[in-house]
Every structure is written in structure tokens, then in C-alpha cells.
Amino acid sequence: MNHHLAIFDKFKTKDELTGKAKRQRQIIQILYFENITHNTKVEITKKIISKKNKLWRNTYSGVYEDIEKVFLPYNIIREKGRIPLKRGPRLLQEGGTAFYELTENGMLLLYCINRGKVKLNFTKFTSDHKLGELFNRISDINSTLCFLILEKYIVTCYIKKVNILPIIRQNLNQVYKTNLELTLELIESILSTSTKERRVMLEFLSQIKG
């Protein structure tokens, strides 16, 4: 079975997230937004089923695989604690069942999943304070631009098996060269023009967007 971070995966034939991508996104969002006392695999599965009317067996096995094979190894979540079990073998009762919370990596993924609508202090995520402050300012000015850059950054880091945190300039530069060069050149060309010319360019882009 292919175990990987799938939150950005889309079908090859259509611009739509895969089922695995949707499930992994749901897990991350449930861990942050849902008011659950203990975010165990069972409770997370219950939340997904209640929202999507899915089968228990298929959903739980998917949640289990995502947590054990992807989120924990990639440090997206961590154990927050354990709940003692009242039933089952004594060894399992003593060990209890784990419940989870997002790590800093998970919070960065959450920011991208929610298209920049989750407020983060990026000085806690970057290698130096100045870079973090710049991210904070860009996030306030244009959260869409910020999350698009971070989305490409995260995907590139996972493909190259490089730690996503702390965010360092060298890794951002690699993302620029491989994914963002044309996009950021377009932004630079718009910003460098006069107000009148900028208005014409934005009108042109709005026509393309439809």
C-alpha cells in the first residue's frame, strides 16, 4: 500500500482532490477545529462518518493508516496522551489508547488546507525572525499568495524528503526555481508598472479567469 502525504493529491483526469486527500485533510481539521475531549482514532472516525455518511470499517482503516503510516512518521501529529482501556487484554488496558494533537508541521499544513484563513505567527516557523515577520506581513496583505507559496514549498520538501521546518531561505529558493519562477515574475511585472497599467493588467487577468 502506498503511504504518503496526500493532502494535495488530485485525480489525473479532473481537478478534484482524491478521496485520500480529503480524508487526510479532514483528520487535520478535526484535530484543530472539533471540540473533542480526546482525539483518538475512533473519535476522529466518528466525526468523519457523521459528516460524510461513510462506512465505519473503510473509514477507520483509512484513518488508522493515515495516522500510523503518514502523520506520525512525518511529525504532522503527536501523541498528546493516553486513555486507559476498560476492556480487552490486560496489556492493552494498561497501555491505553492514544489521542493526538497537531505539531508545528501539522499547523502549517492546516494553514494551507484552509487557504490562509488560520492565523499563524510565522516567526515560530522560520529560521530567522526577519523572514518570519515578512511572512506575517504577506499573510495579512494577501493570504492567498502566502498559502500558495507555502503549498508548493511543503510539496517540494516532502518530495525531496527535506524537513519543512524551520522554513529556510535556501529551501524557498529551490521552490522558486522549480515551481514558482513564472508566477512570481508575473507578480513582479504587475507590481512594477504604473497604477493605470496595473489596472489594465488586472482587468485582463479577470477576463481570463472568467
Residues 25 and 70 both lie in one domain:
yes
The whole-number pLDDT of residue 26 equals: 95
The whole-number pLDDT of residue 93 equals: 55
Q: Which helix (H) or strand (E) segment is 26 a member of?
A: helix 19-33
For residue 143, is it within any domain?
yes
The whole-number pLDDT of residue 116 equals: 87
Residues 205 and 123 both lie in one domain:
yes
The Cα–Cα gap between 44 and 31 comes to 8
What is the tens place of the pLDDT at every residue in 1-11? 567 899 999 88
Q: Which helix (H) or strand (E) segment is 79 a member of?
A: strand 77-83
Domain count, the chain: 2
DSSP letter string, 128-195: SHHHHHHHHHHHHH-HHHHHHHHHHHHHHHHHHT----SB-HHHHHHHIIIIIHHHHHHHHHHHTS-H
The whole-number pLDDT of residue 57 equals: 78
Residues 127 and 76 both lie in one domain:
no
Burial classification of residue 12, based on how many CB atoms lie within 10 Å of its CB (0-12 exposed, 13-18 middle, 19 or more buried): exposed
Residues 88 and 158 both lie in one domain:
no
For residue 33, is it within any domain?
yes
Residues 146 and 93 both lie in one domain:
no
For residue 11, is it within any domain?
no
Tell which of 69, 102, 135 closes a domain.
102
Is there a contact between 89 and 68 (Cβ–Cβ < 8 Å)?
A: no
Residues 123 and 73 both lie in one domain:
no
Range of the domain at 71: 19-102
Tell which of 50, 70, 102 closes a domain.
102
What is the tens place of the pLDDT at every residue in 68-99? 999 999 999 999 998 887 665 565 556 678 99
**Residue holding cell 479577470?**
206
Residues 82 and 25 both lie in one domain:
yes
The whole-number pLDDT of residue 194 equals: 84
Residues 130 and 204 both lie in one domain:
yes
The whole-number pLDDT of residue 83 equals: 86
The Cα–Cα gap between 92 and 89 comes to 5
For residue 95, is it within any domain?
yes
Residues 79 and 127 both lie in one domain:
no
The whole-number pLDDT of residue 209 equals: 62
pLDDT < 50 positions in the chain: none
For residue 8, is it within any domain?
no
The Cα–Cα gap between 155 and 164 comes to 9
Residues 127 and 204 both lie in one domain:
yes
The whole-number pLDDT of residue 182 equals: 62
In 3D, which of 81, 19, 98 has the Cα closest to residue 54?
19
Tell which of 73, 102, 131 closes a domain.
102
